[in-house]
Amino acid sequence: MSTTMLTLFASCPKGVESLLAEELKELGASEVAETVAGVSFAGNLELAYKACLWSRLASRILLRIGEVDSSDKHALYRGVQSFDWDEHLDQGSSFRVDFNGSTPDITHTRFGSQFVKDAIVDQLRDRHGWRPSVDNAKPDLRINVHARGDNTFVAIDLSGQSLHERGYRLEAGEAPLKENLAAAILYRAGWPELAKQGSTLLDPMCGSGTFLIEGAMMAADIAPGLLRARFGFDKWMGHIPKIWLAVLEDARERRMAGLAGVNTTIVGYEGLPKIVGRARANIQRAGLGKLITVKQQELASLKVDPEIQSGLVIANPPYGERMGDEASLVYLYKHLGEKIKQQAPGWQAAIFTSSQALVRSLGMGPKKSYTLFNGALSCKLYLYDVRERQVDQPASQQTRQDSVVNTFKASTAGGEMFANRLRKNLKQLGKWARKENIDCYRLYDADMPEYVVAVDLYRDWVHVQEYAAPKSIDETKAHQRLLEALEVIPGVLGIPENHVVFKRRERQSGKRQYEKLEQSGDMLEVKEGECRLLVNLKDYLDTGLFLDHRKMRLRIAREAAGKDFLNLFCYTGTATVHAAVGGAASTTSVDLSNTYLGWARKNLALNGLVDRKHRLEQADCLQWLKQDTRNYDLIFMDPPTFSNSKRMRGVFDVQEAHVELIERAMARLKPGGVLYFSNNFRRFQLAKELEQKFSVEEITASTIDRDFQRRPGIHRCWCIRR
């Protein structure tokens, strides 16, 4: 039997066929021929064992015992019974039949499996007087039947469980790649050759560590099947243990030599502690703890050690299955591309995804791409030579203004007066903003009673809000002054007129402040502290970033390291991003609006913060606090003054609700923790009972930055402790 040539077939993921064919040839296969999702080949029993043990790419190794007529089910029955099944099964064996495809009169695979099973059992009972048992969960032998109309192939499954199940991965992440697909990606990316040169393998989003482990086994010449507890041939009647044990011993010797000689660095990063633990456990089960390092670190904090040798950055970022909001993935991919270019110049990169649109957001031109299937999903592997050392950030508005020779003259005396005030403010606040690295700030806030507008700079855009003039002011005159201000703003600031966005701000009630004004969907990226944030200047009355809370957000960033942070009424999650970038152990953000939670998800993704330690909860905050049982070190709460959203139970009024809100939030506060409570209701009075129950300190003055000094009542803020 050992020298008998066998007809064999190896199945694999679609797109991997040519790689598998080359792998089988290297193992010694002959008559190699590719087909869809598999490769047929010939070899002796030793080669069949080697294929089961050494193939990194195959899903199954099948020993074809024949092809039969299946033009009708009676022909199929006779064909199945033409094989001597006592050569494959003994009296105490269990088996199962895996039936795929169809015949003219068998179109359901379950019926096909049952039909073939009956033919086998009937033969053994009639010829030998015994019948094997059927075990679909853990059979001693799997019989594979592949029906192609009038012809059907019958085979013994030598692999048993799929060969991608190496035995090291008991727990995976949320959307794991199968191990053999990960190996195919590494082959296509050229990792085996890079490993021979001592290059580094780095996965910035490593999940349960599949790329790292497969890459390490390649580098150390470790057979991927060494950890498997069993194969499909173990209790097959044709199995020859002596041949198998020789193949197995050779693989063990190669593993020892490979581990002793490997000289490559393999490192992965993952943000969620639970997933890091899984990855490390998988690595230990694979016996590769000394070869692979996994660090708990989010993409946002990725820093590649300049001392390590360059090599391959490989990533399988989410492409819609793992993150609910697909739009946020655009910002994640943008951040990933920037990190790769900043941290790995001179390296090679491989990105595996199903979305060509998302790949464009990486900002890198691929040198090559390959189509591979992740299950039924068509995906592509994009390969890059990383050349850029850093990402050029757009010049700040302040820098551009420094270079503008401003010769603008207003057409009216009032307009020139307003222009002079803008110039004065720009000179003073611009210098401060540059020093503090502030991208957006309030330049003018109704400084002169004649011009009651707020002018906010967002890089090279201006957001203008007209406050409702008192009834004592003539409406015609007020309108004329507004037109003068709008004429002056682009001229003085040196920006295009179409970069001025104007809104009229009136006293808001209910949900009006959240209603859409436009449907542009235009997002502008700005920077605040160490965070990147998205604003929308056109579609809503507010932009997604409350500028007056800048100092509060920066304070949260300084205090959040290692803490569990809760952001109630989180809006677009800007405080959450600051906490996360500041090193929070976890963040939880709660808001009633799914629109704003989606915005928050985009803000997190833009900063490389995508794992589940940053939870987003759509809920009424008061009702959510009644049900939540977790505790937090740091809580920020900035409720609206009033809301009558249809999703709420009743009407929300901050003056009436704040006592219960604060008491319930304090019940979730860990010992030594702090709650920051803020709101912008000008007539708000903090209840005396709270001051008697907790340690309360008003910190409003310390939360008002320089650009809001003229409007100190824009919000109030308290620090509350037990």
Question: For the domain that residue 441 is a member of, what is the CATH number?
Answer: 3.30.750.80
Tally of CA atoms within 13 A in the half-sphere of 515 that contains its CB:
9
Q: CATH number of the domain at 200, please.
A: 3.40.50.150
Q: Is the dihedral of CA 208, 214, 215, 220 positive or negative?
A: positive
Tell me if 112 sits within 8 A of 99, measured CB to CB: yes
Which stretch of 463-472, 556-565, 638-647 has the lowest confidence by average pLDDT? 638-647
* 648-699 confidence digits (pLDDT tens): 566 788 888 899 999 999 999 999 999 999 998 888 999 999 999 999 999 9
- What CA–CA distance (Å, rounded) separates 154 from 162? 18
- Which one is predicted more confidently, 506 or 205? 205
In a domain, 242, yes or no: no
In a domain, 252, yes or no: no
Tell me if 486 sits within 8 A of 414, measured CB to CB: no
- Retrieve residue 383's tokens: 């390969």
The amino acid at 699: I
**658, 702: one domain:** yes
**351, 411: one domain:** no
Place of tokens 């900063």: 607
**215, 314: one domain:** yes
Q: CATH number of the domain at 131, please.
A: 3.30.2130.30
Q: What is the mean pLDDT of the chain?
A: 90
Say yes or no to pLDDT of 390 above 90: no
DSSP secondary-structure letter at 92?
T
* 399-455 confidence digits (pLDDT tens): 444 444 356 787 788 889 999 999 999 999 999 999 888 999 999 998 888 888 999
* 330-349 confidence digits (pLDDT tens): 888 989 999 999 999 999 99
**97, 129: one domain:** yes
Q: Rounded to a whole number, what is the distance in angstroms from the first to the last CA of the chain? A: 80
* 349-384 confidence digits (pLDDT tens): 999 998 887 888 898 999 999 999 999 999 999 999
pLDDT score, position 136: 93
- What CA–CA distance (Å, rounded) separates 98 from 100? 7
Percent of all residues in the chain with a pLDDT value above 90, rounded to a whole number: 75
In a domain, 256, yes or no: no
* 274-322 confidence digits (pLDDT tens): 999 999 999 999 999 999 999 999 998 899 999 999 999 999 998 765 4
DSSP secondary-structure letter at 352?
E
pLDDT score, position 395: 43
Domain boundary among 105, 124, 157: 157
Please tell me the total count of domains within the chain. Answer: 4
Domain boundary among 349, 365, 385: 385
pLDDT score, position 347: 97
- What CA–CA distance (Å, rounded) separates 334 from 8? 45
**Can you count the helices (H) and strands (E) in the chain?**
20, 30
- The residue range of the domain holding 90 is 6-157
**196, 106: one domain:** no
**491, 612: one domain:** no
- What CA–CA distance (Å, rounded) separates 147 from 109? 10
Domain boundary among 337, 366, 385: 385
In a domain, 517, yes or no: no
**594, 573: one domain:** yes
In a domain, 79, yes or no: yes
- What CA–CA distance (Å, rounded) separates 664 from 637? 12
Instruction: Say how many C-beta atoms besides its own lie within 10 A of residue 644's C-beta.
Output: 12
- Retrieve residue 506's tokens: 């009136």
Say yes or no to pLDDT of 543 above 70: yes
117-133: average pLDDT: 95
Tell me if 92 sits within 8 A of 35, measured CB to CB: no
**574, 501: one domain:** no
Tell me if 95 sits within 8 A of 120, measured CB to CB: yes
Tell me if 560 sits within 8 A of 567, measured CB to CB: no
- What CA–CA distance (Å, rounded) separates 531 from 668? 27
Say yes or no to pLDDT of 644 above 90: no
The amino acid at 491: G
Contacts (Cβ under 8 Å, ≥6 apart) of 428: none
pLDDT score, position 410: 78
CA distances from 275 to 210, 271, 298, 480 (A): 12, 8, 12, 61
**380, 398: one domain:** no
Tell me if 560 sits within 8 A of 578, measured CB to CB: yes
**Phi first, then psi: what are they for 180, rounded to 5°?**
-75, -30
Contacts (Cβ under 8 Å, ≥6 apart) of 642: 509, 510, 651, 652, 653, 654
pLDDT score, position 404: 40
Place of tokens 């498997």: 228
**325, 193: one domain:** yes
The amino acid at 442: R
- What CA–CA distance (Å, rounded) separates 668 from 636? 12
In a domain, 513, yes or no: no
* 482-540 confidence digits (pLDDT tens): 888 888 899 899 989 889 999 886 544 444 444 555 566 789 999 999 999 999 999 88
**Phi first, then psi: what are they for 133, rounded to 5°?**
-90, 160
**310, 456: one domain:** no
**493, 529: one domain:** no
Biggest CA-to-CA distance, the chain: 112
Residue 584: is it exposed, middle or buried by C-beta count within 10 angstroms (0-12/13-18/19+)? buried
* 51-82 confidence digits (pLDDT tens): 999 999 999 999 999 999 999 999 999 999 99
**Phi first, then psi: what are they for 400, rounded to 5°?**
-65, -40
Contacts (Cβ under 8 Å, ≥6 apart) of 595: none
Instruction: Say how many C-beta atoms besides its own lie within 10 A of residue 509's C-beta.
Output: 11
15-27: average pLDDT: 98
- What CA–CA distance (Å, rounded) separates 170 from 475? 73
DSSP per position, 522-569: --EEEEETTEEEEE-SSSBSS-S--GGGHHHHHHHHHH-TT-EEEEET
The candidate with the shortest Cα–Cα distance to 8, out of 506, 320, 35, 16, is 35
The candidate with the shortest Cα–Cα distance to 404, out of 495, 496, 484, is 495
User: What's the predicted TM-score (pTM) here?
Assistant: 0.79
**Phi first, then psi: what are they for 7, rounded to 5°?**
-95, 115
The candidate with the shortest Cα–Cα distance to 139, out of 86, 94, 85, is 94
Percent of all residues in the chain with a pLDDT value above 70, rounded to a whole number: 91
Specify the length of the chain in residues.
722
- Retrieve residue 662's tokens: 């604060």
In a domain, 141, yes or no: yes
When computed from its CA atoms, the radius of gyration of the chain, rounded to whole angstroms, is 33
**Phi first, then psi: what are they for 556, rounded to 5°?**
-60, -40
Strand order, beta sheet including 133-134: 30-35, 38-43, 6-11, 60-69, 151-157, 141-148, 94-102, 133-134
In a domain, 27, yes or no: yes
